[in-house]
């Protein structure tokens, strides 16, 4: 069908011109998102929209923002963070002490504007307290949205955006200038942000915990399997993968990770062999 051909051409054009790989997403999701921008520009076909992108490259910024859907908030799904604090972190610290290791690396995949990464930092700081200096802790917020990453780097949030942060945490970890709340510099030093594509980017390694919640829900099944295996390979032995409560693991990883605590938290057992994937 001509429409399907034009749709395929548009996806290839976006990859070539903007470096954004649409193949990870389901076609159903992409068509809904393309339609949002096409209606906004009064464009009636994929071919016309492709021509518009050629004429106005700034439209790519609007399109990619729609595709990446940066929905986040501090301590989103509080029960997940409660499990992280009461189940994952104690196991992680005990494992580090047993192995006499000092480095702790945590990955917030699809970090958007940084709320999840900073939430993790607050909980780690609270749990470790004065013993924080006994470890080299780094939290890595990764996303593909430039605007969201810039906001994360600034660490500035409106009163509405911080409303779910416990009052004691807000007082301890933020300053307020009358308009916005700013992350304390001490906490900010624990978190690093970087642009990275989960599908096409260089594989990461040596993480103790990976958060990837509600990021892959619009991706294709093939992309799910690939990313979940990438996460498995990126985890240290005895490391943890935390996904959305309604998300399912895909592919071989379902047999390679062990459920821990409530739904959505998995551990990579040290007795299971590493993936045979080559990079």
Residue 251: CATH number of its domain:
3.40.50.150
Q: 249 pLDDT exceeds 50?
A: yes
- Domain end position, chosen among 44, 68, 92: 68
Determine the pLDDT at residue 90: 96
Number of folded domains in the chain? 2
Determine the pLDDT at residue 40: 93
Residue 115 lies in a domain: yes
In whole angstroms, what is the distance from residue 132 CA to residue 125 CA? 7
Determine the pLDDT at residue 276: 43
**How many other C-beta atoms can be found within 10 angstroms of the C-beta atom of residue 220?**
18
Same domain, 92 and 184: yes
In whole angstroms, what is the distance from residue 20 CA to residue 197 CA? 9
Least confident of 49-58, 104-113, 228-237, 256-265: 256-265
Determine the pLDDT at residue 277: 42
What value does the mean pLDDT of the chain take?
A: 89
Residue 73 lies in a domain: no
Residues 22, 11: contact at Cβ < 8 Å?
yes
Same domain, 103 and 241: yes
Same domain, 90 and 180: yes
Q: Give the range with max mean pLDDT: 103-112, 249-258, 270-279.
A: 103-112
Q: 109 pLDDT exceeds 70?
A: yes
Q: Give the range with max mean pLDDT: 50-64, 93-107, 252-266.
A: 93-107
- The pTM (predicted TM-score) of the whole model is 0.78
Which range marks the domain in which residue 29 is found?
2-68
Same domain, 34 and 155: no
């Amino acid at each position: 069908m001509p429409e399907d051909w034009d749709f395929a051409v548009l996806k290839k054009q976006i990859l070539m011109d903007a470096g954004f790989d649409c193949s990870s997403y389901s076609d159903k999701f992409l068509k809904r998102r393309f339609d949002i921008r096409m209606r906004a520009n009064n464009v009636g076909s994929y071919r016309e929209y492709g021509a518009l992108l050629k004429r106005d490259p700034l439209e790519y910024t609007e399109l990619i923002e729609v595709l990446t859907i940066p929905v986040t908030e501090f301590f989103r799904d509080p029960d997940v963070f409660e499990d992280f604090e009461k189940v994952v972190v104690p196991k992680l610290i005990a494992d580090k002490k047993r192995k006499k290791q000092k480095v702790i690396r945590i990955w917030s995949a699809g970090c958007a504007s940084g709320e999840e990464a900073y939430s993790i930092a607050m909980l780690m700081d609270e749990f470790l307290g004065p013993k924080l200096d006994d470890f080299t802790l780094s939290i890595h917020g990764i996303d593909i949205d430039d605007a969201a990453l810039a906001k994360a780097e600034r660490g500035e949030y409106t009163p509405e955006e911080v409303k779910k942060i416990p009052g004691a945490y807000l007082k301890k970890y933020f300053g307020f200038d009358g308009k916005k709340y700013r992350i304390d510099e001490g906490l900010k030093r624990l978190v690093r942000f970087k642009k990275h594509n989960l599908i096409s980017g260089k594989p990461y390694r040596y993480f103790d915990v990976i958060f990837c919640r509600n990021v892959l829900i619009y991706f294709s099944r093939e992309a799910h399997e690939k990313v979940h295996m990438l996460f498995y390979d990126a985890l240290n032995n005895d490391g943890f993968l935390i996904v959305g409560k309604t998300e399912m693991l895909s592919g071989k990883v379902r047999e390679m990770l062990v459920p821990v605590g409530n739904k959505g938290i998995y551990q990579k057992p040290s007795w299971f062999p590493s993936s045979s994937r080559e990079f």
